[in-house]
A and B are shown apart, each in its own frame.
Chain A
Amino acid sequence: QQQVKQSPQSLIVQKGGISIINCAYENTAFDYFPWYQQFPGKGPALLIAIRPDVSEKKEGRFTISFNKSAKQFSLHIMDSQPGDSATYFCAASISNTGKLIFGQGTTLQVKP
């Protein structure tokens, strides 16, 4: 019930292409869905987040699409750049609790 499943495990995209990472959850009580970006040797950093009252959120080249009925959400990176090469984690939590559940992570490589 607490799991968040993330796919794919790894992704290779050409520069300028679209990167898509998918996550699925079971617990309908989750109400906050962040995406974290992690570069080698660094801690994760928040990239973008969404709450289930909207179906899409866009910040620059990064977009979260949220499908409440399917219990799925995804990260789209438009015009992918080599500097986007990193590990991406989706996560889910229930507001005002302390728990944050992460997906398994996706290693993205953007080829020049």
Chain B
Amino acid sequence: EDQVTQSPEALRLQEGESSSLNCSYTVSGLRGLFWYRQDPGKGPEFLFTLYSAGEEKEKERLKATLTKKESFLHITAPKPEDSATYLCALLGSGNTGKLIFGQGTTLQVKP
């Protein structure tokens, strides 16, 4: 069964304190792993797509990496404006049109 699990559920950091969010997944044949950012009261916004183990993508203070079982979202020297919920999603296996989301990690960065 396709599954996505994110940890931790919540993370509090001081401004400038780097850390990583984890997304563990199981799928029969990875066809895409996605990271989205969601601000309170808004819909998710796309960040990255990863397709194969070893792949990395970067945007400002964020870097997403992928292994055969996990993806990490590394946040370097975060700022308060990075506070949000970060969602990991997986394209379901087989010929499906389904995206499977994890529960999300809520990040709070304090000044």
| Pairing of A with B | no
Interface residues, chain B, with chain A CB atoms under 8 Å away: none
